[in-house]
Amino acid sequence: MSRAHRTVIAVLGVALAALLGVGVWASIRASIWQDRPTAMTGTANDYSLAGDGWPVESLTAARQRAQLLADRLGLRTGEVIQFSNGFHVQLLDTDGRGAVEVLVDPVDGTVALEHGPAIMWNTRVGMPHAGLGTAARISPPAAQRLAQQWLDDQRPGLTARAPELFPGYYTLETARGESVVGMLSINAFTGTVWYHTWHGSFVGLSEE
């Protein structure tokens, strides 16, 4: 083998080693990011609890499942509502203020962020409103008025109850007379209405 050939092989060897090194480092880095604790991400993954395979059939059982997640987050459970499609649970901070809303799956006990506003509008969970600041621009009375206006137009006969403030939005129960029917949310910055279409029919309610 000529000296020139040996030089070419050596250069190729160095290049191959470098490429392998980059690949190994990329693999290690990906593993580090994949395996890091979810508390570091500041995403919706922090606000979920895998199911244990047991059905959840009561308000008390739903509260217990949600509290397991709340304990990890330094929160506590608030109001629990049972609908035909599952359980809606408020998670509150130590001062009793709304932190986030979660759903408990009645089939296997999975706890996860509620669809819609709790994911898209909740500024605590990682969907900040750039340039809008942190303080709600819509007051609670204004939120209730906006909700009632929307209901009068889209769900005649329903009334909007008092709003509960969460980071970036309000959630209100909708009622027919004294009976809860469903829920809707109001964006605290823009006043946008988001009706909760996923709950099904109302079954029961448990306060804090």
* Judgement on whether residues 49 and 30 belong to the same structural domain of the protein: no
Name the pTM for this structure: 0.76
Instruction: For residue 168, give the DSSP letter.
Output: T
CA dist 97 and 91 (Å) reads 9
* Judgement on whether residues 99 and 195 belong to the same structural domain of the protein: yes
Question: Which pLDDT score is estimated for 128?
Answer: 59
* Judgement on whether residues 107 and 176 belong to the same structural domain of the protein: yes
* Judgement on whether residues 52 and 149 belong to the same structural domain of the protein: yes
Nearest to 33 by CA among 19, 16, 15, 45: 45
Q: Please give the residue that has the higher pLDDT: either 35 or 171.
A: 171
* Judgement on whether residues 160 and 189 belong to the same structural domain of the protein: yes
Stated as kind and residue range, the H or E segment containing 187 is: strand 179-187
CA dist 17 and 90 (Å) reads 54
* pLDDT of residue 18 exceeding 90: no
* Judgement on whether residues 170 and 104 belong to the same structural domain of the protein: yes
* Judgement on whether residues 53 and 125 belong to the same structural domain of the protein: yes
Structure tokens at 175: 């009622």
pLDDT band for 15, please (50, 70, 90 cuts). very low
* Judgement on whether residues 116 and 144 belong to the same structural domain of the protein: yes
* Judgement on whether residues 10 and 108 belong to the same structural domain of the protein: no
pLDDT band for 132, please (50, 70, 90 cuts). low
* Judgement on whether residues 29 and 58 belong to the same structural domain of the protein: no
As a whole number, mean pLDDT of residues 114-128 equals 84
* Judgement on whether residues 75 and 178 belong to the same structural domain of the protein: yes
CA dist 106 and 163 (Å) reads 26
Q: Which domain holds residue 176?
A: 44-206
pLDDT in tens, 187-205: 999 999 999 999 999 999 9
pLDDT in tens, 82-116: 999 999 999 999 999 999 999 999 999 999 999 99
CA dist 185 and 162 (Å) reads 11
Total domains, the chain: 2
* Judgement on whether residues 93 and 8 belong to the same structural domain of the protein: no
Cα-based torsion angle of the residue sequence 114, 79, 141, 158 in order, rounded to the nearest 10 degrees = 80
* pLDDT of residue 185 exceeding 80: yes
